[in-house]
């Protein structure tokens, strides 16, 4: 694997409470989108937050890691559906990302629940986003075959 760099840029206008950021990704894979303090701490109203972006990164990274682990063990998945929920809360008076909960459903032929859970645990521990968050954010997981 070669080294990879990915870039996102935010242009912010205004103060924290009433301002807004416009996020763009260099790849062009996503249209520009808005981020605000209100979308982070109150309601999204069609805008996103850093926590939602962390959740998206974690769900996609975990999916890749689990798919790879299952295939390496001889059981490539037919389908994985992964949700990540990232929690933003106050800790010691400071806004903090406190946890991420991964929820995964897998359709995998030729594997039992125990083997699937072991593969999911391996992906949870080994995916690069989990590794980046480990030690700072509580990561939990629910996994099941469907």
Q: Phi/psi at 56 (nearest 5 deg)?
A: -65, -45
pTM: 0.94
Residues 17 and 54 in one domain: no
pLDDT at 136: 95
**Residue 78's CATH number:** 3.30.300.20
What CA–CA distance (Å, rounded) separates 78 from 116?
Answer: 13
> Hey, what are 106's tokens?
């897998």
pLDDT of residue 1: 82
Structural domain containing residue 60: 50-145
Same structural domain, 85 and 102: yes
At 111-130, the pLDDT tens digits run 999 999 999 999 999 999 99
pLDDT tens profile 87-103 = 999 999 999 999 999 99
Q: For the segment 29-55, what is each residue's pLDDT rounded down to a tens digit?
A: 999 999 999 999 988 999 999 999 999
């Amino acid at each position: 694997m070669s080294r990879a760099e990915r870039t996102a840029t935010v242009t912010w206008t205004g103060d924290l409470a009433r301002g807004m950021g416009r996020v763009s990704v260099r790849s062009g894979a996503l249209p520009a989108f808005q981020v605000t303090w209100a979308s982070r701490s109150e309601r999204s109203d069609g805008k996103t937050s850093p926590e939602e972006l962390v959740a998206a990164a974690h769900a996609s990274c975990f999916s890749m890691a689990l798919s790879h682990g299952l295939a390496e063990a001889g059981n490539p998945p037919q389908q994985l559906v992964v949700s990540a929920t990232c929690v933003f809360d106050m800790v010691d008076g400071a806004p903090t990302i406190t946890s991420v909960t991964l929820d995964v459903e897998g359709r995998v032929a030729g594997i039992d629940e125990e083997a699937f859970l072991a593969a999911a645990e391996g992906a949870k521990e080994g995916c690069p986003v989990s590794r980046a968050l480990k030690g700072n954010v509580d990561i939990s997981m629910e996994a099941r075959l469907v």
